[in-house]
Structure 1
Amino acid sequence: MLRLTFSGNPKPKNNLIIFGFLMHRMSFSNPKKIYFASDQHLGAPTPEASFPREKRFVAWLEEIRHDAEAIFLLGDLFDFWFEYKTVVPKGFVRVLGKLAEIRDSGIPIYFFVGNHDLWMSGYFEKELNIPVYHDNQEYTFNGKTFLIGHGDGKGPGDKGYKRMKKVFTNPFSKWLYRWVHPDWGVKLAQYLSVKNKLISGEADVKFLGEDNEWLVSYAKRKLETKHYDYFVFGHRHLPLVIKLKENATYINLGDWIGYFTYGVFDGEHFELKEYKQ
């Protein structure tokens, strides 16, 4: 079992601060597993169209809870999410309820914001007791080192989105947006999320070749200064497993729009699997 003690948000006390970077150390025993998923984009292109995908994702959560030691959600769970002071977007009660139920049962859940739901500011922590991370985190599972994050804005290129992200994450910009009535603000953001690829930060979803995949380049550059056994990201909407140098592996989790893929680590090996309901 994971040796974790929680106080408030489920953050393990047996963490280390190394060169200013938070490293989470976890150990667990078979048959427990750690699960990873990303890019559900619930609400897109319409709430009605995404409803079957939400039900499928909830069914997956219910299935894995029986042997899950921890669950990592790597961003873009929602196609749009903005927290006003007293309002959150309407809908998603099934997935939020299932996450609350699983978390209340004692299973840790960790959420990494994506480029579509980066405006989180406390709701998950307060209502679901799920910690939310806005950047990559390091973990050690059974002696294997992981670098985990959503993946947007990492690596070379994508300069237009990187500039846009600075605007979106600026506290003053968020303060201004909160003055827009939620009925207008949510509809506007949902429209732009689908129509404007600069805002969404989504590149071509076709495999561009190892040398042209920005996250692969990012992982290789990180390996120049420190070894990781696994780099686990979302964002690209492609299920990818690419062997890198020094016994390191880059993994992209795919999505829950066309692939319905997820990652699972059993303490020794990492696999990408498709959920077939």
Structure 2
Amino acid sequence: MSGQHTKTGKKLFVSDAHLGGFDKTLNRKIELELIHLIDFCENNDFDMYILGDLFDYWMEYPNHRPELGEELLERFEKYNRNTGSTLYITGNHDNWTNGYFKTVGFKIEKNHHFVNLDGKKAMLLHGDGLDDPSFNLPRPLFHRILRNPNFVKLYQSVLSPDTGLDIMMKFSRLARSREVTEAEKNLNNWARKQLESSDTDFILCGHDHSPRRLNFDFGTFINLGTFYQHKSVAVYNNSELTLVSWNDEARQLTPTPNT
């Protein structure tokens, strides 16, 4: 059930790392950058929020999970113990969860969440669609099929974990290269209408891999872009919500040009 996440203070929002979607060297680079980002957040009292597609493919079988980001998940488990549960809104590449994320301390949400930013209302989602028809952001039919518990059960009954995950990996890489064509325009239009017709002040999401900030008279839309490519994240600090970039070499956040 969607609800209100009650963490307060400085916040950092990240999405679309797609860990596992690249060659071994690049995957390791992304994983280490994320670990360094967690270190930064813990050392500087930032609460982290994941807005989907942290992994490029993730399907948990009853007794098997992808061998992805093991060091990253260990670091998140420590961070979650020290700071409280990190909100993880699953995306269209990492929504086949079966409880493992919860064991390392994540608070899992498969649709959207609202957070209070010093009296301002922020809506968080991945961006591929929402189950609640009142938001008028339906998921594509294929995404609905992939999320259907009956499909997942059938898929896992027919394919072994190794075969099933191998197919999922190849499919996810193909899907990632195709899913950004119309999504940017669609999300811009949807966010504008949603902000104008509701009491929401900010909308933050990812999904279409294009970092941007759109300011309207009635609210602000921020798309986080990709961590794997742009290193872009959003931060809330000192009553300001900004789109910035992670500089891994300097281990600090830097301004993002033209946003």
Pair in the same fold by TM > 0.5: yes
Cα–Cα, structure 1 residues 167 and 142, in superposed 2: closer, same or farther, change >3 Å? same
Q: Which residue in 1 is equivalent to 2:98?
A: 121
**In 1: Cα distance, 2:197 partner to 2:129 partner:** 20
Tell me, yes or no, if structure 1 residue 218 matches structure 2 residue 190: yes
- Compare 40-49 and 177-186 and name the one that shifted more: 40-49
Tell me, yes or no, if structure 1 residue 50 matches structure 2 residue 27: yes
Determine helix, strand or coil for the equivalent of 2:75. Answer: helix
Q: Which residue in 2 is equivalent to 1:170?
A: 148
**In 1: Cα distance, 2:74 partner to 2:87 partner:** 16
CA RMSD of aligned residues (A): 2.3
Q: Are 1:232 and 1:253, in contact at CA under 8 Å, matched by a contact in 2? A: yes
Q: How does 1:51-130 map to 2 (within 5 A)?
A: 51-125=28-102, 127-130=103-106
Letter in 1 for 2:192: K
Cα–Cα, structure 1 residues 241 and 187, in superposed 2: closer, same or farther, change >3 Å? same
Cα–Cα, structure 1 residues 59 and 131, in superposed 2: closer, same or farther, change >3 Å? same
**In 1: Cα distance, 2:39 partner to 2:6 partner:** 26
Letter in 2 for 1:188: I
Q: Measure how far apart 1:78 and its partner are.
A: 0.5
Q: Which residue in 2 is equivalent to 1:17?
A: none
* Count of residue correspondences: 243
Greater helix percent: which structure?
2
**In 2: Cα distance, 1:90 partner to 1:61 partner:** 20
Tell me, yes or no, if structure 1 residue 204 matches structure 2 residue 181: yes
Determine helix, strand or coil for the equivalent of 1:77. Answer: coil
**In 1: Cα distance, 2:122 partner to 2:238 partner:** 12
TM-score (norm 1): 0.81
**In 2: Cα distance, 1:22 partner to 1:101 partner:** 25
Letter in 2 for 1:216: N
Q: Are 1:74 and 1:113, in contact at CA under 8 Å, matched by a contact in 2? A: yes
Cα–Cα, structure 1 residues 253 and 146, in superposed 2: closer, same or farther, change >3 Å? same
Q: Which residue in 2 is equivalent to 1:23?
A: 4
**In 2: Cα distance, 1:268 partner to 1:189 partner:** 41
**In 2: Cα distance, 1:263 partner to 1:41 partner:** 17
Residue among 125, 132, 137 paired with 2:113: 137
Q: Are 1:81 and 1:118, in contact at CA under 8 Å, matched by a contact in 2? A: yes
Q: Measure how far apart 1:25 and its partner are.
A: 4.7
Q: Measure how far apart 1:21 and its partner are.
A: 5.9
Task: Return 5+ residue gaps in structure 1 as ranges.
Answer: 1-19
Q: Measure how far apart 1:257 and its partner are.
A: 2.1
Q: Which residue in 2 is equivalent to 1:234?
A: 206
Query: Quick one: percent identity of the two aligned structures?
Result: 25
Q: Are 1:112 and 1:135, in contact at CA under 8 Å, matched by a contact in 2? A: yes
Determine helix, strand or coil for the equivalent of 1:85. Answer: coil
Q: Which residue in 1 is equivalent to 2:256?
A: none
**In 2: Cα distance, 1:119 partner to 1:201 partner:** 20
TM-score (norm 2): 0.86
Q: Which residue in 1 is equivalent to 2:11?
A: 34
**In 1: Cα distance, 2:66 partner to 2:98 partner:** 13
Letter in 2 for 1:228: T
